């Protein structure tokens, strides 16, 4: 009985510690500025206001920030899923010379310190005329997410029994057909999980977006917007928290909508990683 109680208590603590910072962010976003500045914080939205959301959404070019972020993050994720799926299949299902070296390469590629490549990538973009385009940004985000995507997808594939595919082959399917019919449905949660992870990474990126998009203001992305509530006079915490709330909303919605499938997906992939 005490064991049960202790476990319940521990669960509560884990939940509270996880959720509190996020709760505090959303709460601050709804508080009037006076309450934010108050000496004694209130833990409930006593007089909720939308003023900070109004400030946040009235920013110049608000919609183009969203469109660009969705385009760039979405494009990068789709591209890396397509490319990674092929590679993951080769690694998980086929035997070939150089396979181990390839796996090692992908693993090491995850260790790239991207902030350090800012200057070389800038120079390359300049030399190829890709500066100031969303294309370049998409390509960079694609490469940032690719190694992780290969590793996880390979894990998901490995977790799916080969028998299913072989059975389909025996049924007279081609390899591609077998893959599509037998493996793909089982792989779907894994694909979703991996793409969400890649999406979050691309969604967050600021350093490259700041340097690669120069004159074309309509090509700026959301993290730039998120930092726009600080001025020489200071940070507008209410607006920053409101913007952060909006910023994490799409990711959160997709996550919650897919909750069960995504978590089993991610963990499934990691198990065999």
Partner 1 sequence: MTTTPTRAVPHRPPSTPPPPRRRRTSWLPYLLIAPTLLATAFLLLYPLARNVIISTQEFGLPQLVRGHARFVGLANYTRVLTDAEFWAVVRRTLLFTAINVVLIMLLSTLVALLLVRLGRWTRLLVMSGLVLVWATPVIAATTVFQWLFQSRLGVVNWALVRLGFEGYRDYTWFADGPATFAILVALIVWQSVPFAALSLYAAMVTIPAELYDAARMDGAGAWRVFTTITFPLLRAMFGLVTCLEVIWVVKAFVQIWVISQGGPGQATTTLPVYAFQVAQSLQRYDLGAAVSMLMVLLLVLALLAYFRRLYRQEEVS
Partner 2 sequence: MPNRPATFVLASLLVLSACGAEPGASGGEQDVTVWLMKDTATDDFVSRFETEFERDHPGLDLKIQVQEWNGITQKVTSALASTDPPDVIEVGNTQVAQYAASDGVTDLSAKVAELGGQDWIPGLAEPGAVGGKQFGIPFYAANRVVIYRKDLFEAAGVTPPKTRDEWLAATAKLDQGDTQGIYLPGQNWYVLSGFIWDEGGDLARQDDGKWTGSLNTPQALAGADFYRRLQALGDGPKDSDEAKPQQTDVVAGGRVAQFIAVPGAAKLVAKANPELADELGFFPIPGKTAATPGAVFTGGSDLIIPLASTRQDGAYEVVKALAGDKWQVELAKAMNYVPNRTSLASAVGDDPGAAAMAAGAVNGRATPNSPNWAAVEARNPIKEFLTAVLTGTDPATAAATADQVITQALNSGA
Q: What residues make contact with partner 2 under the rule CB under 8 A?
A: 33-34, 37-38, 60, 118, 122, 126, 131-132, 206-207, 210-212, 214-215, 217, 224, 227-228, 230-237
Least Cβ distance, residue 235 to partner 2 (angstroms): 6
The entry of partner 1, partner 2, none near residue 132 (CB within 5 to 8 angstroms by kind) is: partner 2
Does residue 273 touch partner 1 according to CB under 8 A? yes
Among 2, 5, 34, 115, the residue binding partner 1 under the rule CB under 8 A is: 115
For 213, residues 6+ apart whose C-beta sits below 8 A from its C-beta are: 132, 134, 137, 219, 220, 221
DSSP structure class, residue 221: -
Helix ranges restricted to H, 160-236: 162-170, 175-178, 184-204, 207-212, 222-226
Pairing of strands 234-235, 230-231: antiparallel
Residue 66 binding: pick among partner 2, partner 1, none (C-beta 5-8 Å cut-off by kind): none
Q: What is the smallest separation between the CB atom of 239 and partner 1, expressed in angstroms?
A: 11
CA distances from 11 to 4, 155, 264 (A): 10, 29, 20
The set of residues, in sequence order, having a beta carbon less than 8 Å from that of 87 and lying 6+ positions away, is 102, 106, 150, 154
* Residue 174 interacting with partner 1 (CB under 8 A): no
Of 53-61, 70-78, 106-114, 213-221: span binding partner 1 (CB under 8 A): 106-114
Per CB under 8 A, the list member of 77, 131, 192, 241 interacting with partner 1 is 241
Task: Give the span between the Cα atoms of 158 and 149, in whole angstroms.
Answer: 14
Residues 148, 88, 195, CA angle at the centre, nearest 5°?
45
Q: Comparing C-alpha atoms, which of 165, 155, 217, 161 is closest to residue 190?
A: 155
Does the footprint of partner 1 cover residue 17 (CB under 8 A)? Answer: yes
Q: Which is nearer to partner 1, 1 or 119 (CB)?
A: 119
**Under rule CB under 8 A, residue 19 binds partner 1:** yes
Regarding 139 and contact with partner 1 (CB under 8 A), the answer is yes
Q: Pick between residue 195 and residue 245 the one whose CB is nearest to partner 1.
A: 245
111: contact with partner 1 by CB under 8 A: yes
């Amino acid at each position: 009985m005490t064991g049960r109680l202790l476990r319940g208590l521990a669960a509560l603590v884990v939940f509270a510690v996880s959720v509190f910072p996020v709760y505090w962010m959303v709460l601050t976003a709804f508080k009037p500025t006076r309450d934010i500045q108050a000496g004694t914080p209130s833990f409930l939205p006593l007089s909720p206001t939308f003023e900070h959301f109004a400030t946040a959404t009235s920013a110049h070019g608000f919609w183009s920030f969203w469109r660009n972020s969705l385009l760039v993050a979405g494009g990068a994720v789709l591209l890396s899923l397509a490319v990674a799926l092929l590679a993951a299949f080769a690694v998980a299902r086929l035997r070939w010379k150089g396979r181990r070296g390839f796996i090692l390469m992908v693993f090491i590629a995850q260790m790239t310190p991207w902030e350090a490549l800012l200057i070389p990538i800038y120079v390359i973009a300049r030399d190829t005329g890709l500066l100031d385009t969303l294309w370049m940004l998409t390509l960079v985000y694609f490469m940032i997410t690719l190694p992780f995507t290969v590793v996880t997808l390979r894990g998901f594939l490995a977790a799916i029994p080969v028998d299913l595919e072989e059975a389909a082959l025996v049924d007279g399917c081609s390899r591609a057909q077998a893959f599509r019919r037998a493996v793909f449905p089982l792989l779907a949660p894994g694909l979703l999980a991996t793409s969400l992870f890649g999406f979050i990474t691309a969604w967050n990126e600021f350093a490259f977006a700041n340097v690669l998009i120069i004159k074309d203001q309509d090509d700026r992305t959301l993290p730039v917007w998120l930092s726009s509530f600080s001025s020489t006079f200071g940070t507008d915490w209410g607006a920053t928290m409101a913007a952060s709330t909006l910023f994490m909303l799409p990711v959160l919605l997709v996550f919650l909508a897919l909750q069960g499938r995504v978590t089993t997906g991610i963990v499934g992939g990691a198990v065999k990683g």
